[in-house]
Structure formats: C-alpha cells, structure tokens
C-alpha cells in the first residue's frame, strides 16, 4: 500500500516536471523569420550593420527559427540609443573599463496578416576592459541584445 502511494506521487512529480519542460521550449513560434536591416535612430553612426549581423548570426546559431528573405514572421528592430561610458578607472585616472549600453525597440509580426506577436523595448548592457576598441564593444553588446531577442521570441510562454 505504501509503495503504491510513493509510485503515484513519483509519477505525478515526473509528469509535472515534463509539463514544465514542454511549456518552456518553443514558444509556439515555428518557421522562418525575415530580418530587415536594423534602423538606427541613435547618435552612433553605422552601428546598424553590426547589430543586424549579430541578430542574424544568433538566429542561425540557435536554429529554431531560421532567417529568410520572405519569412513567416518579420522582425523589425530600431536601435534607439547607444552609449559607451567609462565604468572604472585605475589609480592613475586612466579608464580601466567601459560600459556599453544599447537600447532597441523590437517588433515581431506575422507576415501573413501583420498581427503583432511581440512589441518590446530592450536594453543590453555590458562592461569591457578599456583596451578593447569601440567596434568590439558594439559587437559584444549587439550579441547580448541578439541573445535577449532570441529568448523573448522563442522562449516565451
């Protein structure tokens, strides 16, 4: 009798865990995504190409929603703000680290009827050592933004 009770509790526990795993994967979005070039409304000239490349690369690496010229979804991204600011200094007053901040508006729509699936503002922040050049900082903060977009688009429940 005791054994049967433990089995039922154990099976119930396993079922509840497997249900959670299923609900956290996929997000119900399948197919392909069109990723037009990022629009740049920030004061930083030319960052849109680096951001667009980082986002396309992230979707290709992830593989769950493949980039396409005519996708099932359209992912529109507008870079609203970019900043590179000193974060810390060494004892001589030289910059030891920089903080990179990238803010963007992310809009995901169905291609068929332009229904909004996702409409959010995101901000990604990273800190890099002062010996990195600004282009490398933009690439790294763009990769972080791309990771956050993937998480939002594909792992929402």
Q: Which domains does the chain have, with CATH numbers?
A: 30-154 (3.40.50.10610)
DSSP state of 113: T
Q: Is the pTM of this model over 0.95?
A: no
Q: pLDDT class for 3, splitting at 50, 70, 90?
A: low
DSSP calls for 47-103 = HHHHHHHHHHHHHHHH-SEEE-TT-SEEEEEEEEEEEEEEEEE-TTS-EEEEEEEEE
DSSP state of 25: S
Q: How many CB atoms lie within 10 A of CB 2?
A: 6
| pLDDT score of 84 more than 70 | yes
């Amino acid at each position: 009798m005791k054994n049967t009770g433990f089995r039922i509790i154990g099976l119930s526990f396993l079922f509840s865990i497997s249900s959670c795993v299923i609900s956290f994967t996929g997000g119900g979005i399948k197919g392909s995504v069109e990723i037009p070039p990022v629009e740049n409304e920030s004061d930083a000239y030319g960052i849109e190409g680096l951001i667009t490349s980082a986002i396309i690369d992230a979707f290709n690496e992830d593989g769950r929603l493949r980039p396409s010229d005519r996708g099932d979804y359209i992912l529109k991204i507008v870079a609203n703000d970019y900043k590179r600011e000193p974060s810390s200094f060494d004892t001589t007053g030289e910059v030891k680290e920089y903080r990179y901040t990238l803010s963007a508006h992310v809009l995901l729509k169905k291609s068929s009827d332009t229904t909004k699936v996702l409409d959010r503002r995101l901000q990604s922040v990273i800190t890099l050592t002062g010996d990195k050049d600004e282009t490398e900082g933009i690439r790294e903060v763009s990769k972080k933004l791309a990771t956050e977009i993937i998480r939002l688009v594909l792992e929402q429940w």
